[in-house]
Structure 1
Amino acid sequence: MELRTFYNLQEKEMTFEQVFERIKMYMAQQPIGHYKLMLGTDSQVHPQQTRFITGIVIQRLGQGVWACATKTIVKRKMNHLHERISFETSLTEEIATLFTENHKNELIHIILPHIYDGATFSIEGHIDIGAGQKNRTREFVREMTGRIESSGLEPKIKPDSFVASCYANRYTK
């Protein structure tokens, strides 16, 4: 597997370990907080390729976020909806595997001394699908949420999957 790099508006070409250090620093600044680590992918079909963007967002509820993204290009138009949604989910699962048990434990240990003061930490997998009657992706909800759950993430779909449907979506154009 090629070395994946991450970027945001301030930094380009970050390694995963650099991303992880930024997340730890963000949480350590204010360990008494409600933290959500959210991963999600969106895609856009272009004339010669399909662009996938996977976002990593650490949110301190009510007090901002730190975020970055990574890009994957498939050199063909992926017009079949199930294939594209499945590949988006696979990319989110891939990024989730980078957060090993040691990584997760390091993040938990930042807030652990403060849980009685209300500090919390959760990890979510955001999927760009919806269960609404008019949503073309509703038939994939059970399959994709099951995959995200088996990755150890709490699955979120529209309208609660903003990392996929808003943050990553912005960079797919």
Structure 2
Amino acid sequence: MISPTYGNCNDDQMIGIITNYIKSNYKTSEGFNLVVGTDSQNYSDTKMVVVIAVQNVGHGGIFFYDILRIKRIDNMRQKLFYETSLSLKYADKLIAEIENYCKKINFDFNNVSFCIHVDVGKKGKTSKLIPELVSWVKACGYDCKIKPDSFAASSIADKISK
């Protein structure tokens, strides 16, 4: 993963940074949102950007991203399902690693909300996919945000993917 603040990080380093960030701001925070979102752009291949962001409500946040290049996906539906599957995969792994890390340092992570940001909105061609994608994310146990509230996918990942 790459962070604009911390540079290149392996998974263990990222988990430590996220946990320490939350722990050090815990008493003064209005809450934390840990979100995962993915966006992509087509070139000769498809550039997928997965973002893991920690929002310290009212006080900014930090984020990390990963870039994957895969065979070009031209079908919008397939691409959005692939993006969402990546977000779910990264979220599952992230939560498992954070839970293990928090047990080691005896820190309660129960007050942190987890959410998947999907790059679909009520306006435009993606609107017809909202019910399927949101239902899928919720069936996997996550809250789900769409545009204009899906900043990890529709703002951060979008900017990096271009």
Same-fold call, TM cutoff 0.5: yes
**Paired residues of 2:99 and 2:109 also in contact (CA < 8 A):** no
Deviation by residue 1:8-53 (Cα, 9 ceiling, x = unmatched):
224443222211111011011121221000100000011x111010
- For the residues of structure 1 that align with 2:80 and 2:121, how far apart are their CA atoms? 11
1:142 maps to: 131
**Paired residues of 1:37 and 1:121 also in contact (CA < 8 A):** yes
- For the residues of structure 1 that align with 2:67 and 2:75, how far apart are their CA atoms? 20
Question: Percent identity between the aligned chains?
Answer: 25
The structure-2 alpha-carbon separation of the partners of 1:50 and 1:111, relative to structure 1 and needing over 3 Å to count, comes to closer
Deviation by residue 1:95-119 (Cα, 9 ceiling, x = unmatched):
011124562473993466xxxxxxx
Matches within 5 A, 1:10-159: 10-32=5-27, 33=29, 34-46=31-43, 48-76=44-72, 78-101=73-96, 103-104=98-99, 106=102, 109-110=107-108, 120-132=111-123, 135-159=124-148
**May I ask how many residue pairs the two structures share in their alignment?**
157
- For the residues of structure 1 that align with 2:134 and 2:99, how far apart are their CA atoms? 21
Deviation by residue 1:40-84 (Cα, 9 ceiling, x = unmatched):
0000011x11101010000111111011101111132x1110011
- For the residues of structure 1 that align with 2:80 and 2:37, how far apart are their CA atoms? 11
- For the residues of structure 2 that align with 1:14 and 1:44, how far apart are their CA atoms? 24
SS of residue matched to 1:109: coil
Q: 1:164 aligns with which of 150, 153, 158?
A: 153
Gaps of 5+ in 2: none
TM, length-normalised to structure 2: 0.88
SS of residue matched to 2:69: strand
- For the residues of structure 2 that align with 1:96 and 1:83, how far apart are their CA atoms? 20
Gaps of 5+ in 1: 1-5, 113-119
Deviation by residue 1:107-151 (Cα, 9 ceiling, x = unmatched):
993466xxxxxxx4201100000123xx10111111111221123
**Paired residues of 2:35 and 2:54 also in contact (CA < 8 A):** yes
**Paired residues of 1:28 and 1:110 also in contact (CA < 8 A):** no
